[in-house]
Chain A
Amino acid sequence: MSKNKVKVQRSAMAKREERWAWLFIAPPFIGFMLFMAYPIVFAIIASTSKWTGINSLWGNIVGLQNYIKIFSDIKFWKSMGTTIIYMIGIPIGMILGILIAMGLNRKIPGKRFLTTMYYVPVVSSLVAVSILWAWVFNYDYGLLNGIYKLLTGMHGPNWLGDEQMVKVSLIIFMVWKGLGGTVILYLAGLQNIPQDYYEAAMIDGANGWEKFRNITLPLLSPVTFYVLITSLIGGFQVFVEVQVMTPSGGPNYSSATVVFYLYEKAFTNGQLGYGSAVAVILAIIIFIITAINFWGQDKWVKTID
């Protein structure tokens, strides 16, 4: 009875509004189904097949065979290891980001210019700056080794040609490229901290370090959390700079990342099924790590409210 009543009470206007609501929801929903849900389902199915793009996907379903192979695939583990090593850049970027943001948060001349300067790499084309840095790192003709030779008179390291150095070089590049974004976020975070807290702390006799340790850092933790999550996800997806600076994956495959390996498998070697399986594993890893981060945030992420 009461149900009927509710229906009767709905005005024509409410109905019209509901129709409009559906209309507004439709574009992102259709977009999501078409460009996210469908490819995801497709990739999961493809990952259980020996699909090459040329043969038929459905005729070549092999179950979990690709996944089993990946577990003993040396190149997969090597590229996974490299991907994780590159993440050393994340804390470095955060520390530098906080320091620079704190500097820029003071009333210093040229603040706007400096902020812009730090942000330019973020808005530059990744391919373009990668090519540029490949020259900066060049063994004989690069800017870095040019400076090194001026200072020491000796030939500098082989930045992109040595198995260990190439990782260092890419970490330097990634920190440089991401720093501007981190700085802007921390700057916004710093400006959100009410001055009263510092004043109160000053009255209590806190020194600079104590203020930083007990006010700034905790109140920046939401920003830190955001930067950490996005950097981790981005870190697992590194591809372009590796592809541009070391097109064959570096000496002895030392600079290749998981996505680089995935791309190589799928598009160079025509193993789209296997490549999809690598992508699924990568997605699961990212899911787990992001989930852990969200579960754990209560322990250290503090908000002003």
Chain B
Amino acid sequence: MKKKVLSIILAGLMGAGVLAGCSTTTVEEAGEATADTQTAAGSEATATESESTTESVTGEGDQTIHVFLYMQEHEKAIYQKLIDQFVEEHKDQVKEVVFEVTTQDEYNQKMIANMTAGDMPDVFYVGPASVRSYVDNGYVLPLDDYVDEATISSIWGTTQEIYRYDGTNIGSGSLYAFPKDLSCFAFAYNQDLFDAAGLEYPDPENPYTYDEFIEVCKALTIDKDGDGEIDQWGVANADQFGMTPYLYSNGVKFLNDDMTKVNVANNPQLTEALTFYTDLTKNGLTPSVEQDTALGGYQRWLDGQVAFYACGTWDVAAFMDDATFPYKWNLCGWPVGPSGDGKSHTWMGSVGYCVSSTTKYPELCAELVAKLSTDPDGQREVSGITSGASIQLPNIVDLAYGEFKDAVNNGTVPYASNVDVIFGYFDGNDHYEAALQETDYTYNAEWFTPFWSGVFNIKNGDISVEDYLNQVEPEMQAALDEAIELQNSATK
């Protein structure tokens, strides 16, 4: 009997191990591995160090600020310089700015730990998707009172809007963060493949229509070595991030205006655009689903196997590097569908610096945030005007159109010469337009996962576009309802 009692206790402990998170492998370990395997759009997150690093410089004052961010090592060096400058400028006030940096993978978990422990850093990141939750739960301070209007109006219009919140809607009300960066998912083509095929380059001012794009892709899809198998494709697409620009460019919206209802089953623009998108694969203009599981589009693009591929602003530096991408290339717009507004659309992304509501030194923190975001020398450095290596585009509009473009044109910054495509997306013009992804306005992105993760079934011919959309809508709606509920749980 004793043995049985003992065995039950043992069994209990073993079961409980799950709850206490006991396992032979830590979550961090596993998280790190995904950064390596997600190459397509996740290349922003390829920092390899898993330990967070802390650095600090000292002044003569008594105020200590704790800054907690994620970034890559070479970025960190630049921002460390800015922070050192800041300490120097405010040395009568500041004792120390503790600058802690971790990887993107670990950041959210560490922030949740900070929130749970009630021990928030003074300055940290907030993404557009989190502004509402952070404000509703009282984690962040409005910055309007601390920063002058001129500084705010010097940054991209989008970044002025997405961090504003009035308690109900994003886009108006107080400003809660300054952008660390603004990025977008543009399109790129391999010039060498165009030359080999004797085709004219895409016109950066006039993006292709759907039909024109198909024609060009047909001409670029060939069997180069003549073994009977296609080995060069017009384009490759990653469903999670590289599908929506095609759809947005046909006027598609997945959600209704107040973001409470999923609209995919009876959405003619979506049906048309998704048919176009999946037909690219069905008609062999992209690698097949099987081929895609073997080698992703990003690798094939780097290998010169595809003529078009998505190019995030964070990818440019890698594509400019001859060792990574030994081809001539340039930027262009995503193809434009017949049922949209006639413009090429894509999505933008951003993360912003915000100030903790628990900080003892709101003014000082706000000044630091403004400096990190808009200091002209700092922006010259991160955009490559002075450093020659572009990590991101300048946050300051005048700097972007002025010094940055000059530096691109005279070769100081290695960058695709059609940089106007990106500015077009950022600023909007007759041919280009961009917005944040709709998932950036909902509590989480779970509602969109069933959509993109099943699209390969259409490409495989296992289900029709119409059936797919009918089938996936309820699942998306359920996840969206859940997200809305969680969003609202904050204000209880």
Are chains A and B native binding partners rather than an unrelated pairing?
yes
Binding site for B on A (CB under 8 A): 35-36, 39-40, 43-44, 50, 52-57, 59-60, 74, 125-127, 130-131, 134, 138-142, 158, 160-161, 229, 233, 236-237, 239-240, 243-244, 247-249, 251-253, 259, 263, 267-272, 279-280, 282-288, 290-291, 293-295, 297
Judge whether B18 and A237 touch: CB under 8 Å: yes
Our pick among A233, A243, A280 for the contact of B33 (Cβ within 8 Å) is A243
Distance (whole angstroms) from the CB of A247 to the closest CB of chain B:
5
Residues on A with beta carbons closer than 8 Å to the beta carbon of B290: 139-140, 158, 161
> A126 to B26, alpha carbons, bound, how many Å?
11
Q: Given the interface contacts A237-B23, A279-B19, does A294 sit within 8 Å of B489 by beta carbon?
A: no
Q: Among B15, B18, B453, which residue has the most Cβ atoms of chain A within 10 A? A: B18
Residues on B with beta carbons closer than 8 Å to the beta carbon of A297: 7
Q: Which residues of B in the span 241-299 have a Cβ within 8 Å of any Cβ on A?
A: 289-291, 293-295
Q: Given the interface contacts A158-B293, A161-B293, does A55 sit within 8 Å of B21 by beta carbon?
A: no
Q: Which residue of B lies closest to A55 (CB)?
A: B490
Known: A54-B490, A280-B19, A286-B14. 8 other contacts (CB 8 A): A39-B20, A53-B111, A141-B294, A252-B453, A285-B15, A291-B11, A291-B12, A297-B7
Identify whether the interface residues of B are mostly helix, strand, loop, or mixed.
Answer: helix
Q: Which of B210-218, B330-338, B440-448 contacts A (4 or more CB under 8 A)?
A: B440-448
Residues on B with beta carbons closer than 8 Å to the beta carbon of A139: 290-291, 293-294
Judge whether A267 and B11 touch: CB under 8 Å: no
Judge whether A283 and B34 touch: CB under 8 Å: no
Our pick among A140, A244, A287 for the contact of B30 (Cβ within 8 Å) is A244
Residues on B with beta carbons closer than 8 Å to the beta carbon of A39: 19-21
Judge whether A40 and B16 touch: CB under 8 Å: yes
Q: Given the interface contacts A35-B20, A237-B23, A287-B12, does A54 sit within 8 Å of B492 by beta carbon?
A: no
Q: Which residue of B lies closest to A286 (CB)?
A: B15
Q: Give the tally of cross-chain contacts (CB within 8 A).
A: 169
Distance (whole angstroms) from the CB of A194 to the closest CB of chain B:
24
Our pick among A244, A282, A284, A286 for the contact of B37 (Cβ within 8 Å) is A244
Q: Which residues of B in the span 440-492 have a Cβ within 8 Å of any Cβ on A?
A: 443-446, 453-454, 456-457, 475, 482-483, 485-486, 489-490, 492
Q: Given the interface contacts A131-B33, A240-B25, does A283 sit within 8 Å of B293 by beta carbon?
A: no
Q: Which residues of B in the span 5-40 have a Cβ within 8 Å of any Cβ on A?
A: 7-8, 10-12, 14-25, 27, 29-30, 32-34, 36-38
Residues on B with beta carbons closer than 8 Å to the beta carbon of A126: 24-25, 29
In the complex, B130 has a CB within 8 A of chain A: yes
Q: Which residue of A lies closest to B475 (CB)?
A: A74
> A130 to B33, alpha carbons, bound, how many Å?
9
A-B contact pairs, 14 of them (CB 8 A): A39-B20, A43-B19, A52-B443, A55-B133, A55-B137, A131-B33, A229-B14, A239-B23, A247-B37, A249-B453, A268-B445, A270-B443, A290-B11, A295-B4
In the complex, B318 has a CB within 8 A of chain A: no
Residues on A with beta carbons closer than 8 Å to the beta carbon of B485: 50
> A221 to B32, alpha carbons, bound, how many Å?
40
Q: Among A44, A57, A233, which residue has the most Cβ atoms of chain B within 10 A? A: A233
> A233 to B16, alpha carbons, bound, how many Å?
11
Judge whether A284 and B15 touch: CB under 8 Å: yes
> A239 to B31, alpha carbons, bound, how many Å?
11
Distance (whole angstroms) from the CB of A109 to the closest CB of chain B:
34
Residues on A with beta carbons closer than 8 Å to the beta carbon of B27: 263, 267
Residues on A with beta carbons closer than 8 Å to the beta carbon of B30: 127, 239-240, 243-244
Q: Among B11, B12, B36, B111, which residue has the most Cβ atoms of chain A within 10 A? A: B11
Judge whether A287 and B14 touch: CB under 8 Å: yes
Judge whether B34 and A290 touch: CB under 8 Å: no
Residues on A with beta carbons closer than 8 Å to the beta carbon of B111: 53
| 0/1 string, B228-252, CB within 8 A of A gives 1 | 0000000000001000000000000
Q: Given the interface contacts A60-B492, A158-B290, does A283 sit within 8 Å of B33 by beta carbon?
A: no
Judge whether B14 and A270 touch: CB under 8 Å: no
Judge whether A283 and B15 touch: CB under 8 Å: yes
Distance (whole angstroms) from the CB of B456 to the closest CB of chain A:
7
Residues on A with beta carbons closer than 8 Å to the beta carbon of B32: 127
> A134 to B12, alpha carbons, bound, how many Å?
35
Judge whether B453 and A269 touch: CB under 8 Å: no
Q: Given the interface contacts A139-B293, A244-B37, A291-B11, does A40 sit within 8 Å of B19 by beta carbon?
A: yes
> A283 to B22, alpha carbons, bound, how many Å?
11
